[in-house]
């Protein structure tokens, strides 16, 4: 049995990856990344930075990208449950403007591989969540870009939040351009 299951998605280059978990009465173990296995699956990147984020229910972070230093990412939930979403912004892609989303949790142990050229974000569905992601380029704050999280032309189907819980976004994320604006400016990818 392999250490990972690599599931292709409807968008070329985006994968849902499930590590094999080995558990017994002592606890458990799993590899979350193995360069050789990933390369065999067609994911040939060199990760240079690991990030970790903590958030509460209703927090929506996204939809982010870097303009001149795009990042491929490998995202997973260490704690809690999130809906992770990506939008293809590669101008030459047949799936430009299309989105894909998946539930990531500490229970399902799934990971999402996001290639360069995508807007990325997630919505926290549990009381708290802890997210870890590897990046293949360094963070450049001056290169931040984004896509409006609820752009109707993209139509990401964010899961419903419980009554009394509303989306919690920072001001920057609320004012990102729409896909049509990005098309007019010329997609950076």
How far apart are alpha carbons 78 and 128 in whole angstroms? 11
How far apart are alpha carbons 113 and 28 in whole angstroms? 23
How far apart are alpha carbons 162 and 188 in whole angstroms? 36
How far apart are alpha carbons 119 and 64 in whole angstroms? 5
Catalytic residue of the set 133, 139, 167, 175: 133
The answer to whether residues 106 and 79 touch, using CB atoms and an 8 Å cutoff, is yes
Q: Is 64 one of the catalytic residues? A: yes
Catalytic residue of the set 15, 64, 120, 122: 64
Active site residue ranges: 64, 133
């Amino acid at each position: 049995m392999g250490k990972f299951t690599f599931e292709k998605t409807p968008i070329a280059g985006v994968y849902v990856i499930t590590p094999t978990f080995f558990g017994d009465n002592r606890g458990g173990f799993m590899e979350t990344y193995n360069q050789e296995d990933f390369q065999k699956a067609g994911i040939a990147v060199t990760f240079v930075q690991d990030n970790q984020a903590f958030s509460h229910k209703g927090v929506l972070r996204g939809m982010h990208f870097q303009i001149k230093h795009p990042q491929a990412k490998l995202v997973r939930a260490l704690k809690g449950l999130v809906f992770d979403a990506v939008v293809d912004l590669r101008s030459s892609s047949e799936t430009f403007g299309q989105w894909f989303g998946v539930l990531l949790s500490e229970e399902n142990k799934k990971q999402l591989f996001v290639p360069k050229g995508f807007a990325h974000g997630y919505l926290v569905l549990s009381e708290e969540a802890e997210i870890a992601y590897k990046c293949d380029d360094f963070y450049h704050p001056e290169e931040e870009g984004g896509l409006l999280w609820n752009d109707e032309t993209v139509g990401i189907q964010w899961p419903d939040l419980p009554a009394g819980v509303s989306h919690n976004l920072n001001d920057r994320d609320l004012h990102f351009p729409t896909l049509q604006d990005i098309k007019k400016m010329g997609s950076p990818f």
